[in-house]
Amino acid sequence: MAVKVVYDSTRGLVQENDATGVGGFQIKDVSLTEGSDTFDAVIQGGVGAAAALPATGVSLVTIGAGNDADKKFCKLANGTVVGQQKTIIVLANNGQAVNLTVRNAADGADLIADGAALNLGDVAVLVWSGASWLVVNQTT
């Protein structure tokens, strides 16, 4: 016997016995959304001193703050748990048609380089391997 947790939009969270013994956590008819934070990208020279994007949830990044096309850099904090996922969305660009560069907070290496063309409206999903972030999906 196992306990299965089901969420549906009418009953909310329900725990029920699962006679198959498999268990599971099932979300029936709504989207699963993590919390989000906002961040203004900075110039290349400002990455080191800037706060890192948190390693959890969804970061909504604005590039080109103040109509400065050089403000297109950010860094991502290390993950803590293998398999942890991180979503980055380029929310706005202040009219600056530039790409977001995402760097590893630990060593400054590019996780998503300019050539990956992560720009306005794009979404990137990364997974923490235990040692580094890996980009598993990215829209362009």
Partner 1 sequence: MVQVIYTKDQGLKQQGGAGSFSIESGVPLAGQIKDTVTSNTVAVIDFAGIKQAEGAAGALEFDLDSKVIKLRSAGGAKFYIYFRVTDTGDTGDPGLEGTGVAFSKASGDIDSEAKLVDALVTLIDNTAALNAEFEAANDGNDHLKITALRMGNSGTIVTDISDFVGLVDTNNANAVVNATVTFTHGVGSHLLSTGGISQASGALNAAGDSFVVISDLTEGDHHGARKIVHRPANGQTFILKNSGGSTLHTFDAAGEVAHLAWNGTAWKLLFGS
Residues that bind partner 1 (CB under 8 A): 2-5, 9, 13, 15, 18, 21-34, 36, 57-58, 60, 81, 87, 89-91, 121-123, 125, 137-139
Sign of the CA dihedral running 81, 61, 65, 96: positive
- Provide, rounded to whole angstroms, the least separation between the CB of residue 1 and partner 1: 9
In angstroms, the CA 108 to CA 91 distance is 23
Per-residue tokens: 66: 């103040």
Q: Coil, helix or strand for 131?
A: coil
- Provide, rounded to whole angstroms, the least separation between the CB of residue 9 and partner 1: 8
User: Phi and psi of 81, rounded to 5°?
Assistant: -130, 135
Nearer to partner 1, 6 or 43 (CB): 6
- Provide, rounded to whole angstroms, the least separation between the CB of residue 45 and partner 1: 28
